[in-house]
Homo-oligomer: A and B are copies of this chain.
Amino acid sequence: MDIIHTTGNTCINKLLDEEKDELFGSARNLYFKAGEGVVKKGASVHDLFLLKEGTVELILDEGREKQSLILLFAGEIIGVNCVYSTKYYRFSALALTDCEVLVLNYRVFSKLLTNNSGFSMSFIQYISMVNERFLNWHMNLTEKNSAGALAFLLCELEKSYGRSSFEIPLTRKDMARVIGFSRESVLKNLADFRKEGIVESEGRTIKILDADRLHDISTYG
């Protein structure tokens, strides 16, 4: 199955220069340290948080926080689904790395959607793609066994960072939560991957040696 993977939303490019000036002129930058909360579940959506740099994890921090929703990388609007539906965040976002967020003004954004039909059509495409990505992510993780889910996560990280060797922004416990399995399952599967020469891992440094094999495990696992 193809993994739909937005490389960031492009709808803002549909704006005229003067509209961009208005949107960015009313925007401000926020910086978050790794581990900080970016948005809090239940809070009202006042503005749109465009993730310019870093990785965040979306979590449903309820009683049962077995599994996180998804990881978001640079280019995504955090909680874009909630902006025009519930108007409050349905989940929390946690910075996994240091993050830079551009806060776009809700009223300006909405006005531009209303006035510029090219922009609104492009935004419809964007949220449709985000929808697909969420669903795809979740289906990929929940239909798999623990090995397949871990392989999927590693493949996604490789793709997002564009390198086969990277520092994973998650502890083993975090990885378990993201893929919806136990910490022990992550450790055991990671040990298996090492034994079979599919990955090298030492602490947070992960190097994917056999991407094809990993992808197969992700697909058929």
Contact = CB atoms under 8 A, between A and B. Distances in A.
A17 interface: no
Contacts of A69: 135, 139
Interface string A137-157: 011001100000000000000
Given A121-B84, A123-B124, A124-B123, A131 B134 contact: yes
Contacts of A143: 64, 66-67
Interface in A30-79: 60, 62, 64, 66-67, 69
Nearest to A113: B121
A114 interface: yes
Interface string A83-115: 111100010000000000000000000100111
Contacts of A129: 85
Count of this chain's copies in the oligomeric assembly: 2
A147 to B, nearest CB: 14
Interface in A143-201: 143, 180
Given A1-B62, A67-B142, A84-B124, 19 more contacts: A67-B143, A69-B135, A69-B139, A82-B128, A83-B128, A84-B125, A85-B125, A85-B132, A86-B132, A113-B124, A120-B124, A123-B124, A127-B131, A130-B131, A134-B134, A135-B135, A135-B138, A138-B142, A142-B142
20 contacts: A4-B86, A67-B139, A69-B139, A81-B132, A82-B128, A82-B132, A84-B121, A85-B128, A90-B132, A113-B120, A113-B124, A114-B117, A115-B117, A117-B117, A120-B120, A123-B124, A124-B127, A127-B131, A135-B135, A135-B138
